[in-house]
Amino acid sequence: MGVYRSDQAQLTFASEAAQGGDPEMHEGDLVGSGATASINNSDGEPAGSRKITVDGVSNTFTIGDFIRIGTVAGTALNSIVEHEVRRIEAMDNAGGTSSNVFTLDRPTAFFHGDNEEVKEVSGIGATDSGSNLSNQVIRNDKSKYITFIPGVYETVDTPDPEMTIEGRRFLSTQSKRNFSVAYPGQQTLSGSLSDFILLNGWALRFPIGTVTTTPSATATDTILLNQADTVAASCKKGDIYITCDGGDVANLSAGDYIQIVEADGTKSEVRRIVVDTSDTFRLDYPLQYDHANNAVINEVSAGATYTHVIEEATDLDTMTWHLHMRESTETVAKDFDRRYVGGMVDSATISADEGGMLMMSWDTVNFLNMAHNQRNQTTVSTNDYNSASVAANLPRFSLMQSIDTDDVNNGAQTVADANDGSGFPNTQPYYFSEGTIKFFGQEFARIRNFSLSINNNVESRYYVGKQGARARGPFEHHEGARDYSMSATVTLPDASLDADTVHGSAVRTNATELFKQLLLEGDYGGTTAATARAGFTMSLRFDRGTSDYIIIDVPTSGTGTADDGTSSTAGKPTVGSNAVNSQGVFINSAQHGVTGENPLQVDLNMIFRSLKITIVDSVPVYP
């Protein structure tokens, strides 16, 4: 007798090109003599489209049909065009051959150009011919992108829909003080992942903004993106296929890592080439940025390390979670899979305690919708979609791939590679004992613990409009005001140090300095806003080895190398043209209470306006 066990559950995630667009390519089993059409939009349908316009309809589409959007051409992995499967929830001009508008069960993950195919499908690809590597099921298996793990976690608060079902009372002699009928209302989907151990920086950017990745060494030869024949002459965020100028002068081939960066050095990211076909590359993972025509492609040198810089962005990227559960008898047919889309991190925490490891929590993540693999419920007598390509009576059922253990972080696999589970990170965690915290530009060695909180005050909006069957979840999320705060417990240093030494020397961390900073309120007596209420800087660094560390700079003017405390401006923020927006850390409270602890310790509470995270490691691809 098999049971679903917590220790046989697996959570993976990926970033989305647009809210709610879970990234995955699978071709679907085409329906024999099934309906077909083509995208009818000269500008193309962008990632995040909830509706698509089609024309040239052959045969008849039905509400509830699963459709593959995107042209599949060629064998192995070189289909050249991104494709995905969605379900039709509503149609305008239903059944006609003129222009039709399909409302989808969830937003698209990729850009789709004019005249790309739309075809009716009935499954994922259930048969495998064995050694034939061009077989559909092999291609599907290599097209899973929701394969990153956030860290080492033990529990997951799943964002399954919370239903608002309210009893309504009619004027009726039959009510007897009880409600007459219950009506369902709006739904919310909110989850969390608490206290997971960071093994790299994958999870860090989502509450903050964007990440740029720069390799330590690249080949001297470069090539350029050649997107002049595409809409808007650019690569789209979320694209998996890119085209380069002819010649391939860097001798790039499948398995190579490349840096894609704008000519001005911005928007740098690293991806692996999975297939190289006539100067068109299939990448291991969707692009994080739009890239203009003539952006630079550099081959990454063997043995390079990578610098990932996480910086604030006004608009946060959303993420997809995929929860895979296999019951204890290991029967694949009984897999229980749930996928949550459009997740925006509302609040998060980065923390460490003495003797422990660097931890993170996604405290609140708000989602737009979910999908699952449970097709039918036996007590329901009729299907919602009786005449559709796949009959089902459960809302939010979807054709989606299972993310197994051997898929974890295997987006880098080529068609000839074996999925063997090697994608699980095997690095050590970041230990508290190998970390340093600098206040005022100087290391404060006696930190007992800290907790850094990020709050994005996300608002979920509900609008009038068509969604999936019985889906009444949010339509979109909007970021609110961003708030940072940090608490720490510190033991006061040596009281014998001279407290009057000039600003910038090592005695800046003298035993009474925190008390003085509390009273100063970040105001150092200057005559301008830039020199007066400036606050102070803070840097948190965790080393794991040579060229392997995380630095959190507060505020964002930090360099990612940690202030050595010796300059005349050590400990003060670098002031830009707008001094108000360049302020650093301010102490709200620093209780110098007598608690029985020796030496005396202080509980600090601080606020600050910005931060930047720099990660150096050997991991090339960040989601």
**325 close to 303: Cβ distance less than 8 angstroms:** no
Q: Which of 260-269, 532-541, 574-583 has the lowest mean pLDDT?
A: 574-583
215 has a pLDDT exceeding 70? yes
The residue type at 579: A
According to the model, what pLDDT value does residue 427 have? Answer: 83
Mean pLDDT rounded to a whole number for the chain: 83
Tens digit of each residue's pLDDT (9 = 90 or more) over 7-54? 888 999 999 999 999 999 988 889 988 999 999 998 899 999 999 999
Q: In whole angstroms, what is the distance from residue 362 CA to residue 82 CA? A: 30
**434 close to 543: Cβ distance less than 8 angstroms:** yes
According to the model, what pLDDT value does residue 577 have? Answer: 46
Mean per-residue pLDDT, 132-143: 76
Q: Report the range out of 114-118, 153-157, 344-348 with the highest average pLDDT.
A: 344-348
Core vs surface per residue 331-361: b (16+ CB within 10 A) or e: eeeebebbbbbbbbbbbbbbbbeeeebbbbb
413 has a pLDDT exceeding 60? no
Decide which of 273 and 497 is more confident.
Answer: 273
Tokens representing 399? 């054709």
* Per-residue H/E/C for 200-268: CCCCCCCCCEEEEEEECCEEEEEEEECCCCCHHHEECCCCCEEEECCCCCCCCCCCCEEEEECCCCCCC
This prediction's pTM: 0.90
Mean per-residue pLDDT, 160-169: 87
**Percent of the chain predicted with pLDDT > 70:** 83
96 has a pLDDT exceeding 60? no
The residue ranges of DSSP E strands in 149-217, in sequence order, are 162-168, 181-197, 209-215
Q: In whole angstroms, what is the distance from residue 330 CA to residue 407 CA? A: 16
Q: In whole angstroms, what is the distance from residue 407 CA to residue 94 CA? A: 39
- Residue 294 CB neighbour total at 10 angstroms: 15
Query: Exposed, middle or buried: residue 515 (CB in 10 Å: 0-12, 13-18, 19+)?
Result: middle
Decide which of 28 and 207 is more confident.
Answer: 207
According to the model, what pLDDT value does residue 15 have? Answer: 97
Mean per-residue pLDDT, 556-582: 54
According to the model, what pLDDT value does residue 266 have? Answer: 95
The residue ranges of DSSP E strands in 380-531, in sequence order, are 435-439, 442-443, 447-455, 459-461, 476-478, 483-491
Domains of the chain (ranges; CATH) run 25-135 (2.40.30), 217-304 (2.40.30.180), 432-617 (2.30.110)
Mean per-residue pLDDT, 283-287: 93
According to the model, what pLDDT value does residue 232 have? Answer: 44
Tens digit of each residue's pLDDT (9 = 90 or more) over 294-343? 888 999 999 999 999 999 999 999 999 999 998 888 788 888 999 999 99
According to the model, what pLDDT value does residue 347 have? Answer: 97
508 has a pLDDT exceeding 80? no
According to the model, what pLDDT value does residue 128 have? Answer: 61
Q: How confident is the model at residue 459 (pLDDT cuts 50, 70, 90)?
A: very high
Q: How confident is the model at residue 511 (pLDDT cuts 50, 70, 90)?
A: confident
502 has a pLDDT exceeding 50? no
According to the model, what pLDDT value does residue 227 have? Answer: 67
- Residue 592 CB neighbour total at 10 angstroms: 15
In a 3-state reduction of DSSP, which class is residue 580? helix
Q: DSSP for 515-539?
A: HHHHHHTTB---SSTTTSB--B-EE
Decide which of 436 and 290 is more confident.
Answer: 290
**Residues with Cβ < 8 Å from 490, sequence gap 6 or more?**
444, 446, 447, 448, 514, 601, 602, 604
Mean per-residue pLDDT, 356-373: 95
- Residue 94 CB neighbour total at 10 angstroms: 14
Q: Report the range out of 128-132, 294-298, 363-367 with the highest average pLDDT.
A: 363-367
Decide which of 196 and 124 is more confident.
Answer: 196
Q: Which of 86-90, 439-443, 571-575 has the lowest mean pLDDT?
A: 571-575
416 has a pLDDT exceeding 60? no
According to the model, what pLDDT value does residue 385 have? Answer: 74
Q: In whole angstroms, what is the distance from residue 524 CA to residue 621 CA? A: 43
Q: Report the range out of 68-77, 87-96, 170-179, 544-553 with the highest average pLDDT.
A: 544-553
